[in-house]
Copies of this chain bind each other. A is one copy, B any other.
Amino acid sequence: MHRRIKLGMVGGGRGAFIGAVHRMAARLDDRYDLVAGALSSDPDRAAASAGDIGIASERSYADWQEMAQREGALRRSGQGGIEAVSIVTPNHLHARIAKAFLEEGIHIICDKPLTVSLDEALALQALAQRSGLLFVLTHTYTGYPLIRHARSLVAQGAIGELRLVQVEYSQDWWADAAALTGDGGWRENPAVAGPAGTLGDVGIHAYQLAAYVSGQQPSEISAELHTFMPGRVLDDHVQVMMRYANGARGTLWASQVATGCENALTLRVYGSTAQLRFNQEDPNVLWLTPQGGAAQRITRGRAESPAAMAATRIPAGHPEGYIEAFAQLYRDAADQILALESGGPKSAIADFLPGVDDGVAGHRFIETVLKSHRLNGAWLRLEQ
């Protein structure tokens, strides 16, 4: 029997890029009905945006607090209030909005970064844990089948003991002066984006992905931020050296001024017996190279781990992409919500869904990078 989860959205009004992506992701596998929204803090724009996407006017809110209360009440009274909410506002609002909906018993799907500070993140983590509700943080790249396959391979010992991690995320989106304006402009404003620029926008993706696949967080880091573009307040470049508890080493590099780069998020993990390599721009391919042997080009659809197969829609050779990876988080979230609602156990997929703990780890990383940078690259312990 077909059952769609009732979904709301905060943020994502006209012209907002990531909100539209969340909606495509929610639609693709037909597990949600988007029935309510506070799409903009501007009432007219909120209403117009809701009309654009078929949200009934009585379920369109200009204020997310009102939305949380009304939808919570509708839900409790059995009148079809939303069961989950997507939070796609600028960063500084994530924590407050998430708190409000959690308190109304509504599951959360939140864009990254989780918040704008570690303290906020820790408070939200505590609340989420107490609530028993699902909290998904949309680290999109974890939705790629081959990232899940890579993670499964590492967990099964396919690369031996971890030795090296090389991860980078380079873009050219902020490489021109012209990039300083426009829809993404808030990303450069510390009051909205938080204290981390490129570090928080894409560096945190690189960090999370490396930890997700390798199964390990570094224990110490040495970092440097840099701002290339005149007039910019936040960093647009970050480089980090990493040490792991078992002696492994690593480098993380993220830049939004890397001319000629689109979304060059690449991860390489080297163990004692094999190497894994993944490039987000070519996500239907994963490379596994055993020491001394031929590299194996593993393709989506032919990677047979359960986690990879569960994230695959169409056969090998017909490429899936970023939207499908995003949709995977929504699909997994739907499964988890139904399991939670029915009191059933979490499925195996739960471990593959990024959540509030990833968010806290990310903010520990951000704060330690900021501190190391202030200390001219001092090696600092990264708490777990």
Q: What's the minimum C-beta distance from A262 to chain B, rounded to whole angstroms? A: 3
Q: How far is the CA of A29 from the CA of B53 in the complex (A)?
A: 10
Question: How far, in Å, is A132 (CB) from chain B's closest CB?
Answer: 29
The distance from the CB of A280 to the nearest CB of chain B, in whole angstroms, is: 8
C-alpha spacing A249/B225, complex, angstroms: 10
With contacts A53-B30, A294-B296 taken as known, whether A317 is within 8 angstroms of B257 at the C-beta atoms is no
Contact between chains at B317 and A176 (CB < 8 Å): no
Contact check, B299 vs A297: say whether CB atoms are below 8 A apart: no
- Binary interface profile of A, 281-312, with partner B (CB < 8 Å = 1, else 0)? 11110001111111111110110000000000
Q: Does A175 contact B (CB under 8 A)?
A: yes
| Of B261, B275, B302, the contact of A293 (CB 8 Å cutoff) | B302
Contacts of A297 in B (CB 8 A): 294-297
**A52 to chain B: closest residue by CB:** B2
Using A259-B274, A377-B377 as known contacts, say yes or no to A2 and B321 having CB atoms under 8 A apart: no
Tally A residues with Cβ within 8 Å of B.
Answer: 88
A299 with B294: in contact, given A228-B247, A281-B319 (CB under 8 Å)?
A: yes
Min CB–CB distance A317 → chain B (angstroms):
3
Q: Select the stretch in A71-79, A102-110, A264-272, A340-348 that faces chain B.
A: A264-272
Q: Contact between A241 and B224 (Cβ–Cβ < 8 Å)?
A: yes
**Which positions 17-47 of chain A face chain B at CB distance < 8 Å?**
17, 21, 23-24, 27-30
A230-245 contact mask (Cβ, 8 Å, vs B): 1 or 0:
0000000101010100
Neighbouring B residues of A226 by C-beta, 8 Å? 247, 249
Which DSSP category, helix, strand, loop or mixed, fits chain A's interface? loop
Question: Chain A, 318-345, contact with B by CB distance < 8 Å: what is the 0/1 string?
Answer: 1111111000000000000000000000
Specify which chain B residues have a CB less than 8 angstroms from the CB of A296 in the assembled complex.
Answer: 294-297
Q: Specify the chain B residue showing the minimal Cβ separation from A288.
A: B294
B-chain residues with CB within 8 Å of residue A228 when the two chains form the complex? 163, 247
A91 contacts B by Cβ under 8 Å: no
Task: Tell me which of A164, A176, A315 has the highest count of chain B C-beta atoms within 10 A of its own C-beta.
Answer: A164
Which of B29, B30, B316, B319 is A54 in contact with, Cβ under 8 Å? Answer: B30
The answer, yes or no, to whether A131 is at the interface (CB within 8 Å) is no
**A379 in the interface, Cβ–Cβ < 8 Å?**
yes
**Does chain B have a CB within 8 A of A215?**
no
Residues of B close to A27: CB separation below 8 A: 27-28, 30
A371 contacts which chain B residues (CB < 8 A)? Answer: none
Q: A173 CA to B317 CA in the complex, in Å?
A: 11
Q: Which residues of B contact A295 (CB under 8 A)?
A: 260, 296-297
Nearest residue, chain B, Cβ from A303: B294
Contact flags A92-119 to B (C-beta < 8 A → 1, else 0): 0000000000000000000000000000
CB-defined A-B contacts under 8 Å, sample of 6: A2-B53, A166-B168, A259-B272, A260-B275, A263-B316, A319-B322
Show the binding face of A for B, using Cβ within 8 Å: 1-2, 4, 17, 21, 23-24, 27-30, 51-54, 159-160, 163-164, 166, 168, 171-173, 175-176, 222, 224, 226, 228, 237, 239, 241, 243, 247, 249, 251, 253, 255, 257-264, 270-275, 280-284, 288-299, 301-302, 313-324, 376-379
Known A27-B27, A173-B315, A259-B271; further 15 A-B contacts with Cβ < 8 A: A2-B51, A27-B28, A160-B259, A172-B292, A176-B291, A224-B249, A258-B270, A259-B275, A259-B290, A260-B275, A262-B316, A263-B315, A294-B297, A318-B322, A320-B323
